[in-house]
Amino acid sequence: MFRFDQLIRRDTIIRDVKQRHPETIPVFEQFNYRGPCDDCTIETVARKNGLNVLDVVAALNQAAFGPKVDSEHAGNQSLT
C-alpha cells in the first residue's frame, strides 16, 4: 500500500531513489542524469541541468508509484 512518506522528494539523494525504485532509472536517463551525480539530490542536478525540479520529481513519482500519485506536494518540500 502506498504511503505519503514514501514519495520521492526534491531533496532525495539520487542513489537512494535508484536503489529503492529501479523503475525510475529510465526517467533519470531521459533527463540525462549521469552516474557521478548519484550522490547529489534531485534538486541539485535538476538546477545544474536547467530542468524544472517539479517536473523531474513528478516523473520519478509516476514511474515509481504509477499515475495515481500526486507528487506536486512532494516537490514543494523545504530543504531545511
Q: Which residue has the cell 512532494?
A: 74
Q: What is the pLDDT along the chain (80 residues), one digit of tens a residue?
A: 556 778 999 999 999 999 999 999 999 999 888 888 899 999 999 999 899 999 999 999 999 998 654 544 554 544 43
Question: How many other CB atoms are there within 10 angstroms of residue 80's CB atom?
Answer: 4
Rg (CA), the chain: 11
3-state secondary structure of 13: strand
